[in-house]
Structure 1
Amino acid sequence: MGSESKVYTLAEVVPHNNVKDCWLLINGKVYDVTKFMDDHPGGDEVLLAATGKDATDDFEDVGHSSSARAMLDEYYIGDIDSASIPTKMKYTPPNQPHYNQDKTSEFVIKLLQFLVPLMILGIAVGIRFYSKQQSA
């Protein structure tokens, strides 16, 4: 790497997204991996899928060896202007009412206090009606 490195914007990096011209953005650095396309163990599709965005997570998730990381120096062409990269938005879950276990338990208890006596009454009436039918 030279002492003076070129600084690219994301807009300058994005168009380099094909087999004959492929640039990757990894850890804030720009790499021209066009010459490596045929030699990449995962195939050129993997590299092409990582173009046009910050490919740091893609690179790190694979678990590249130290020799693979050292190879990056050979393809380094400059740095990225971090202001040109959109920030990742933090996921905020939708506002939902708080689940109150006590209120749910309270509702179930009240429901049972109503239904159980009603069932007992229904069974008693049914038995009485059945016994009258049998004696007649």
Structure 2
Amino acid sequence: MASKPKIYQFDEVVKHKDRYDCWLIIHGKVYDVTHFLDEHPGGEEVLVAATEKDATDDFDDVGHSSSAKELMNRYYIGDIDVKSVPPPGKKYTPPPINPPKAINKYYAILAKLLQLLLPLLILGGAFAVRSAIKKD
């Protein structure tokens, strides 16, 4: 009995977008083609350019041979959750990175501290300038 393929979210797949870590989405399947880049007849740039989107149209437009399609099985790592893929023509924007709550709390405390200390620092600076001018 074959195990179910891993289902990837689009946000996870698009993180693999360069020559050192390159994943493609073609016909609803996810392929890790990192180790194929040097062998690709069209050059590695073509594959890297097909990341961060559904590359099905790019793949089909070239008219790959049946042996090329068979070779893809070596690089298959799972399926894409099609609901997570942006519609064609819509530019993908990664979700915002939210810092952990502990960091947010730290910055909130720091901001409060600055609100309290800033007037004292300004007053101290003004006093220092006044003292320096008075001596002259």
Shorter-normalised TM range: 0.5 to 0.7
Distance of 1:65 and 1:51 partners within structure 2: 21
SS in 2 for 1:58: helix
How far did residue 86 of structure 1 move? Answer: 1.6
For the pair shown, the structure with the greater C-alpha radius of gyration is 1
> In the TM superposition, what is the alpha-carbon distance from 1:44 to its structure 2 partner?
0.3
Give structure 2 stretches of 5+ with no counterpart. 90-136
The answer to whether the aligner puts 1:9 opposite 2:34 as a matched pair is no
Q: How many residues align?
A: 88
The alignment's TM-score, normalised by the length of structure 2, stands at 0.63
Letter in 2 for 1:44: E
Q: Percent identity?
A: 62
Give the residue type in structure 2 aligned to 1:62.
V
Q: CA deviation at 1:4?
A: 1.9
Structure 1: tracts of 5 or more residues without a match: 90-136
Normalization by structure 1: what TM-score?
0.63
Partners of 1:11 and 1:20 in 2: how far apart?
Answer: 18
| 1:114-136 superposed Cα distances (whole Å, 9 cap, x missing partner) | xxxxxxxxxxxxxxxxxxxxxxx
**RMSD between aligned alpha carbons?**
1.1
Amino acid at match of 1:73: N
Q: Distance in 2 between matches of 1:75 and 1:52?
A: 17
1:86 alignment counterpart: 86
| Residue of structure 2 equivalent to 1:29 | 29
Read off the aligned partner of 2:35 and give its amino acid letter: K
Listed as ranges, the matches of 1:103-114 within 5 Å are none
Deviation at 1:87, TM superposition (A): 2.1
Taking the aligned partners of 1:3 and 1:70, their CA distance within structure 2 comes to 20
Cα deviation digits, residues 71-106 of structure 1 (max 9, x gap): 1110000000011012236xxxxxxxxxxxxxxxxx
